[in-house]
Amino acid sequence: MLNVWILGDQLIDPHPALQNAAARVGRDNVRVLMIESTARLRTLPYHRKKLVLLLSAMRHYAERLRAQGWTVDYRTAATYDAAFDDIDATTVLTMAASGRGARALQARRGFEVLPNTQFLCGQYDPHPDPDPSRRYLFEHFYRRMRTHFGVLLTETGEPVGGRWNYDEENRNPLPKGTRIPLPVSFAPDAITEQVMREVAEMPGVGSVDGFDLAVTAEEAQGAFEDFVRHRLALFGPYEDAMTERDDVLFHSKLSPYINIGLLAPMPLVTATERLYREGKVPLSSAEGFIRQVMGWREYIWWQYWRLGEKMQGMNHLDAQRPLPTWFWTGNTRMRCLRTVIERTLRTGWNHHIERLMILSSFSVLAGLDPVEVNRWFMSMFIDAYEWVMVPNVFGMGLHADGGLTATKPYVSAGAYIKRMSDFCTGCAYDVKARDTDNACPFNSLFWSFLMRNEEGFRKNMRMQPMMRGLSRFTPAQAQATQQRAEALLEGIETI
């Protein structure tokens, strides 16, 4: 009997390890192993909606395989090692895990490991044999991926429309009165309802109430088709917009499904390109979505393996402040952070600008410990896995890697939040003030942050527009702003 271990984030159909095993010994001589590890599920205080998604999707996948005629041994164990110790499995075939921890287990137990097929850069490496100390620009990575896979190119190999990137057209605020279509939802079936009852009793954050995510490949495909029909065309213009009145806007919210294998990246890219070429969606929207799927997602996984475990110890800006307790409750007077955190607690999801320009930007400006911030992101989000969060948090979000992932810290004052959202309306703080007692914390902390790091940032060309703003400060204004920032940080628990 040849045993095939399928991990919970590898719910691919057809699964390459099953195809390999059946070709070697025949389907009747293959046993599928699927394991729920209690220890793994309690590594962090995970969002309960993430646990429901993962466990329900795993159990649905097991039933799918049984219906296809596979023998499935699905079990719960204290740890993965305990499960394998209890299984009479002299030979185990598996696909390489996406993250380091499970790969180490696969190697330690001597499993036969096939290449991971869930990432395009596993098939083509844009930068083979990279130097860990060198900066590799995302734009160069993305162009090589597009060129290699022939996506959005002319017959001569040039980018359609004459440009590789339409990011400048993806930054519009949401006009008042814009109709925002609700994304499709999926009613829990008996399997999901049972999982919800179990997860409700587990430690974690958030609630199982209102769970309506896709848990099968068919449902996930339906979520993609709903995005295409109702939101893709306007995704580009309003990709960076934020609003209190809607969680998703025109985003796809497909990352949870791609990350566990219910959707594969390339079919999404191909379908999106076809819609553009058929004239059904504008180029800025098609390119913006493709840039997320075959650009940033691939780049992050590539960076995760390139930089290795050392990234989790990086702290370029020497940020040491503990995470405020209100990050776990949303109990802050800052309307932007309160709205976004409450949304996270309710749904386990925020779109990328809320994560970057609200949550991460504040964390940088306040000097929050990257390890604690990463732990929060890992706990809170339904699409969070180590390979996702380490490069996004330590790299893109917090600049803790000193620019190995992104070329500058992505921070802003309150003006950006006011322009791109409706969060500032009715806030307890004055978004136009910088050094008064009710000045927006983003303003005070932003300018104080630039002053503290002025020497280093002057050398960064991409920071020059921000740094030029410091020239407008008189010595008295600079001192008042720094004092306001210091007072905010001393009383950070009551902001």
Question: So what's the pLDDT on residue 361?
Answer: 98
pLDDT, block means (10 residues), the chain with 495 residues: 97 98 96 98 98 98 98 97 88 97 97 97 92 91 98 97 94 95 96 98 97 98 98 97 97 98 98 98 98 98 95 96 98 98 98 98 98 98 98 98 95 97 97 96 98 90 90 95 98 97
Q: Which residues pair with 3 in a beta bridge?
A: 31, 92
Rounded to whole angstroms, the Cα distance separating 366 from 81 reads: 41
pTM: 0.97
Question: So what's the pLDDT on residue 297?
Answer: 98
Domains by residue range for the chain, with CATH: 2-116 (3.40.50.620), 122-183+231-306 (1.25.40.80), 325-494 (1.10.579.10)
Rounded to whole angstroms, the Cα distance separating 204 from 347 reads: 13
Question: So what's the pLDDT on residue 402?
Answer: 95
Nearest C-alpha neighbor of 260 from the set 103, 376, 99: 99
Question: So what's the pLDDT on residue 85?
Answer: 93
CB within 8 A of 225, min separation 6: which ones?
Answer: none
Rounded to whole angstroms, the Cα distance separating 83 from 72 reads: 14
Question: So what's the pLDDT on residue 399?
Answer: 97
**pLDDT, tens only, 225-246:** 999 999 999 999 999 999 999 9
Question: So what's the pLDDT on residue 278?
Answer: 98
